[in-house]
């Protein structure tokens, strides 16, 4: 009887995962969907703790289990609640890495059981002490989990700025070689002596970790969302391997569902940037500055504008389009931005926001930030709509965005971002660009927009500049 209740609990959990994901893809139902999936998860966890039976025996070590869950609960809750909205993308990556590590650890422990059983029968090969399918689930879980863990940690480090983009010539060949070694290690372990199978197994796990590192390392920071989404689906598959291992339907459905949905989501994200997944993974943005070098005479042609002038121009404009980017997010300037918008509207200026799908560090990043500052939903224009309205706009105020307004994406085939749809701010009557410095954006390429005669630069931290602007406009 308890076993039936357990199975039914898993069934309910699987259904909540499906419904949750379904509801998450519609704005109106998204939050409820998340809660439904979470309650299904809680049910599955408690049912496992109290009802799971292994060869007629209940699970033990309750003290250990509950203290581990307690630690995870408190720490996870604190991190998730305390972190700033701008750090959300890297947090998703961090939690994804935790899931990957969890899957890998499960596989390691399960391998250890089999290995110890094998020790009793010397001079046999490892394949004779383990079912092939069982081994496949263990090794796949270990490898995929490790890659996902190491990759997510690198992505996390890159997004919070502690790891720089590094790539070298022929890196893809090296990566491929490591991947081949991982697979070879997995096969070698299976056919090695049962008494010594642990050494090749752990080398394989180590190589998988290394692969995770070198796989993500050369990919530019701007592409991290895509990579995180991909690693997310990897972890899903690793979880599904655990499902095979324990004949557990909830793990299997949850894992595969995320694996499939995550893969599609990855492709959708690439599409939003008008690039293919292969292009993201192999044609790496970061590190190499393949864009044509600008000569210094052009460099000096940038024009600066004072805060007072900028305030004047905007206060007397009919229509202002604000183009937010990562600079706005790091400066936490969304509230100041909303304040400026309200002030301008009071003065009779029409203010809209142009949201590039990949502005910031994640698709939807800007929507989340501006929503936090209570910016009206109707004021946020998607890219196509914004591009239609830009020619009728007097002033485009670019706040810490760079690559998403780079005209090179349209007219310079040699540019690494060529083909990515961009916001055509140069069509506006005037462009004011707020940046902290002339440093290139995440893609590491120059932006010819800054040298456009229509463009004026307004250097400084986005929040500080916005507050100064607000002060000046109030005086007008």
Partner 1 sequence: METFDLFIRQHMDMVYIVILMIFLGIEIIGRVPSVLHTPLMSGANAIHGVVIIGAIIVMGKAESDNYLALILGFLAVVLGTLNVVGGFVVTDRMLEMFKKKKPKP
Name residues contacting partner 1, limited to 43-72 (CB under 8 A): 44-45, 48-49, 52, 54, 57-62, 64-65, 68-69, 71-72
* Sign of the C-alpha dihedral computed for residues 257, 262, 263 and 269 taken in this order: positive
Q: Which of 223, 378, 403, 461 is catalytic?
A: 403
Minimal distance, residue 107 CB to partner 1, in Å: 9
CB-nearer residue toward partner 1: 149 or 285: 149
Answer yes or no whether residue 33 interacts with partner 1 by CB under 8 A: yes
Residue 148 vs residues 175, 189, 227: alpha-carbon distances, Å: 15, 21, 10
Tokens of 17: 């995962």
- Among residues 8, 15, 180, 268, which is the contact residue for partner 1, using CB under 8 A? 268
Distance CA 93, CA 77 (A): 16
Q: Which of 351, 352, 428 minimizes the C-alpha distance to 390?
A: 428
Least separation in angstroms between CB 55 and partner 1? 9
Q: Is 452 a catalytic residue?
A: no
Q: Which of 142, 182, 207, 261 binds partner 1 (CB under 8 A)?
A: 261
- Which residues neighbour 444 within 8 Å (Cβ) at sequence distance 6 or greater? 165, 220, 285, 286, 287, 288, 289, 291
In terms of CB distance, is 110 or 424 closer to partner 1?
A: 110
Q: Which is nearer to partner 1, 246 or 418 (CB)?
A: 246
Per CB under 8 A, 124 contacts partner 1 = no
Shortest CB 44 distance to partner 1, Å = 6
CA distances in angstroms from 458 to 186, 327, 424, listed in the order given: 56, 13, 19
Among 197, 257, 307, 344, binds partner 1 (CB under 8 A): 257
Of 176-184, 294-302, 359-367, 437-445, the window that binds partner 1 (rule: CB under 8 A) is 359-367
Which one, 29 or 167, has the nearer CB to partner 1? 29
Give the binding-site size for partner 1 (rule: CB under 8 A).
121
* 406 neighbors 251 (Cβ within 8 angstroms): no
Q: How far apart are the first and last CA of the chain?
A: 77
Nearest-angstrom CA–CA distance, 288 and 417: 13
* Residue 399 near residue 327 (C-beta atoms within 8 A): yes
Q: By rule CB under 8 A, what string of x and - marks binding of each residue 72-111 to partner 1?
A: xx-xxx-xxx-x-x--xx-xx-xxx-xx-xxx-xx-xxx-
Measuring CA to CA, how many Å separate 324 from each of 56, 126, 346, 466? 60, 58, 21, 12
By beta-carbon proximity to partner 1, the closer residue of 180 and 268 is 268
Residues 160, 446, 384, 368, Cα dihedral to 10°: 20
For partner 1, the closer CB: 64 or 413: 64
Q: Which of 283, 364, 429, 460 binds partner 1 (CB under 8 A)?
A: 364
Q: Residue 262, interface with partner 1 (CB under 8 A)?
A: yes
Indicate the residue among 309 and 372 with the shorter CB distance to partner 1.
372
Say if CB 163 and CB 157 are below 8 A apart.
Answer: yes
Q: Within 218-247, which residues bind partner 1 (CB under 8 A)?
A: 225, 228-229, 232-233, 235-236, 238-240, 242-247
- What minimum distance in Å lies between the beta carbon of 382 and partner 1? 8
For strands 395-399 and 430-435, give the pairing: parallel
Kind plus residue range of the DSSP H or E element containing 70: helix 62-82
Nearest approach, Cβ of 269 to partner 1 (angstroms)?
A: 6
Residues between 318 and 347 that touch partner 1 (CB under 8 A): none
Provide the annotated active-site residues. 403
């Amino acid at each position: 009887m308890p076993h039936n209740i357990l199975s039914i609990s898993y069934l309910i959990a699987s259904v909540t995962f499906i419904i949750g994901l379904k509801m998450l893809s519609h704005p109106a139902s998204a939050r409820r969907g998340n809660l439904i999936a979470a309650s299904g998860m809680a049910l599955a966890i408690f049912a496992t703790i109290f009802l799971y039976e292994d060869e007629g025996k209940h699970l033990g070590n309750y003290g250990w289990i509950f203290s581990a869950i307690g630690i995870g609960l408190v720490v996870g809750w604190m991190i998730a609640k305390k972190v700033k909205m701008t750090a959300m993308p890297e947090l998703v990556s961090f939690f994804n890495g935790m899931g990957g590590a969890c899957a890998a650890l499960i596989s390691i422990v399960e391998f250890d059981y089999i290995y110890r059983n094998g020790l009793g029968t010397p001079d046999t090969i490892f394949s004779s002490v383990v079912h092939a399918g069982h081994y496949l689930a263990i090794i796949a879980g270990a490898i995929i989990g490790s890659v996902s863990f190491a990759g997510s940690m690198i992505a996390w480090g890159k997004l919070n700025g502690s790891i720089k983009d590094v790539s070298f010539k022929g890196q893809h060949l090296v990566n491929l070689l490591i991947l081949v070694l991982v697979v070879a290690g997995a096969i070698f372990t299976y056919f090695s002596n049962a008494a010594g199978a642990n050494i090749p197994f752990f080398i394989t796990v180590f190589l998988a970790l290394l692969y995770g590192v070198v796989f993500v390392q050369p990919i530019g920071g701007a592409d991290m969302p895509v990579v995180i989404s991909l690693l997310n689906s990897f972890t899903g598959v690793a979880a599904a391997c655990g499902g095979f291992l324990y004949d557990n339907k909830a793990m299997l459905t949850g894992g595969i569902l995320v694996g499939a949905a995550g893969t599609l989501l990855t492709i959708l994200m690439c599409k939003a940037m008008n690039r293919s997944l292969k292009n993201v993974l192999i044609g790496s943005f970061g590190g190499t500055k393949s864009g044509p070098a600008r000569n210094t005479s052009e460099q000096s042609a940038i024009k600066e504008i004072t805060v007072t002038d900028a305030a004047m121009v905007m206060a007397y404009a009919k229509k202002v389009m604000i183009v937010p980017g990562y600079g706005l997010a790091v400066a936490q300037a969304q509230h100041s931005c909303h304040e400026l918008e309200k002030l301008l509207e009071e003065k009779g200026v029409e203010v809209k926001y142009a949201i590039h799908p990949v502005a910031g560090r994640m698709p939807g990043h800007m929507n989340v930030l501006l929503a936090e500052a209570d910016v009206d939903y109707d004021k946020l224009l998607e890219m196509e709509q914004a591009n239609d309205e830009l020619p009728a706009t007097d002033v485009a105020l670019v706040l810490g965005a760079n690559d998403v307004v780079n005209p090179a994406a349209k007219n310079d085939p040699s540019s690494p971002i060529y083909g990515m749809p961009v916001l055509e701010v140069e069509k506006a009557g005037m462009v004011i660009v707020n940046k902290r410095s002339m440093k290139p954006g995440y893609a590491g390429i120059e932006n010819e927009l800054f040298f456009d005669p229509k463009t004026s630069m307004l250097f400084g931290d986005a929040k500080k500049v916005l507050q100064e602007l607000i002060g000046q406009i109030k005086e007008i």
